[in-house]
Amino acid sequence: MSQKIIPTDRSIAWISLIPQLILMGIIFGIFYMLKVKEPFIFVGFTYLLLSFGLKKVFLKNHTRGITLTKEGKNVEAIASFEQSAKFFGDHLWVDNYRFITLLSASKYLYREMAFVNISYCYMAFNNKEKAIEYYMKVLQEYPDNEMAKL
């Protein structure tokens, strides 16, 4: 059975948009120096290509987990989210500087989101003990996480 409604929080860390705008300015400068006609179009395409490419590489497990959750395959989703959490735990700099490394303006770290998603998956098949365990883990590592507090 597929899950139609999955709780999400798309909060944005607005300050993280500044480095992204600077990056777009640098890309614009490169195209301008190369005397490219209509550099704004090329900046947009380059930025989108970078954004989708980085997310395809680094968020592979996270994206797969979300897809599996939407399909109601929560056990498989948990495994994907655990792989995502492990990757971002092993590479904290990618997650901490996600506004540059992933061109993401998300307020939440991907490791943090992976733990919340794992909790949600456990709740979906009524394993409340494991769900609470992961929510507590989120609150221990990320005490300001509003989703875990709820």
pLDDT at 81: 96
* pLDDT for the residue 10: 67
The per-residue pLDDT for 146 is: 81
Q: Residue 118: CB partners within 8 Å, gap ≥ 6?
A: 78, 81, 82, 85, 134
CA 121 to CA 52: how far, in whole Å?
26
* 138, burial (CB in 10 Å: exposed 0-12, middle 13-18, buried 19+): buried
pLDDT value for 2:
47
